[in-house]
């Protein structure tokens, strides 16, 4: 006589759920090991950026293409970055890095966004005419107690080939850069 083995029909439906629960519990147990770590260094910067100079816009107004053909660039216009509450015991110098898309035709200058004027780029310099290439740190600048005002000059320059071939494209132009402060 052969023996029949019967399974409880309720176990047939519950067995996959029980196995899934055991597998999930094993996964949860594995997730409790240390697999995420955070590091950092908390520092005190010598100055705070003046909220009024965190978002700077400079309007060059109307730039005449004939002026660029004759002079290659416009006169410079200033922008001001103001640092407040400077504590010289924490640092005496600052450098800036302007980050943006560099012009292929004028290395070191900021490319203008496409869709409008063309054959031009935006240049930056110190008040004494020292160039400030895009994506490179400025020379160290001295901080002053309490408030430091950094004045930087900006200009529009025609690309050499566009000037030579009289191919500057007129129209509206914009360019965007982000600046970062470094207190070495």
How many CB atoms are located within 10 Å of the residue 122 CB?
A: 25
Instruction: Name the pTM for this structure.
Output: 0.75
Rounded to an integer, the average pLDDT of 94-110 is 97
Lowest mean pLDDT segment, chosen from 7-21, 52-66, 148-162: 7-21
- Domain range for 62 is 48-182
Domain-embedded: residue 90: yes
CA distance 157 to 139: 22
For residue 120, what are the β-bridge partners? 158
- Span 118-132, pLDDT tens digits: 999 999 999 999 999
The length of the chain, given as a count of residues? 184
Q: What is the CATH number of the domain that holds 175?
A: 2.60.40.1090
Q: Which uninterrupted H or E stretch holds 27?
A: helix 9-30
Domain-embedded: residue 29: no
Domain-embedded: residue 24: no
How many CB atoms are located within 10 Å of the residue 173 CB?
A: 19
In angstroms, the Cα distances linking 68 to 90, 141, 151, 181 are 45, 31, 24, 32
- Flag whether pLDDT at 142 surpasses 80: yes
Q: Which uninterrupted H or E stretch holds 53?
A: none
Rounded to an integer, the average pLDDT of 123-146 is 95
Domain-embedded: residue 35: no
- Flag whether pLDDT at 80 surpasses 90: yes
- In this prediction, residue 105 carries a pLDDT of 98
Rounded to an integer, the average pLDDT of 136-157 is 96
Could you give the number of structural domains in the chain?
Answer: 1
- In this prediction, residue 45 carries a pLDDT of 84
- Flag whether pLDDT at 66 surpasses 50: yes
- Flag whether pLDDT at 8 surpasses 70: no
Domain-embedded: residue 108: yes
Q: 6 or 128: whose pLDDT is higher?
A: 128
For residue 22, what are the β-bridge partners? none
Q: Give the three-state DSSP class for 84.
A: strand
CA distance 119 to 170: 9
- Span 11-45, pLDDT tens digits: 455 555 555 555 555 555 555 577 777 887 777 88
């Amino acid at each position: 006589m052969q023996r029949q083995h019967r399974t409880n029909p309720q176990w047939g439906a519950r067995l996959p759920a029980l196995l899934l629960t055991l597998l999930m519990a094993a996964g949860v147990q594995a997730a409790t090991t240390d697999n995420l770590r955070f590091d950092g260094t908390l520092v005190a910067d010598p100055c705070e950026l003046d909220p009024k100079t965190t978002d700077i816009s400079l309007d060059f107004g109307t730039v005449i293409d004939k002026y660029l053909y004759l002079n290659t660039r416009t006169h410079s216009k200033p922008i001001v970055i103001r640092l407040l509450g400077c504590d010289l015991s924490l640092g005496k110098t600052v450098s800036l890095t302007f980050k943006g898309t560099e012009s292929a035709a004028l290395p070191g200058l900021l490319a203008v966004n496409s869709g409008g004027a063309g054959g031009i780029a935006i240049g930056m310099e110190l008040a004494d005419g020292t160039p400030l290439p895009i994506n490179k740190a400025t020379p160290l600048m001295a901080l002053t107690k309490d408030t430091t005002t950094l004045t930087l000059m900006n200009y529009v320059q025609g690309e050499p080939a566009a000037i030579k071939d009289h191919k500057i494209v007129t129209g509206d132009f914009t360019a965007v850069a982000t600046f970062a402060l470094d207190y070495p």
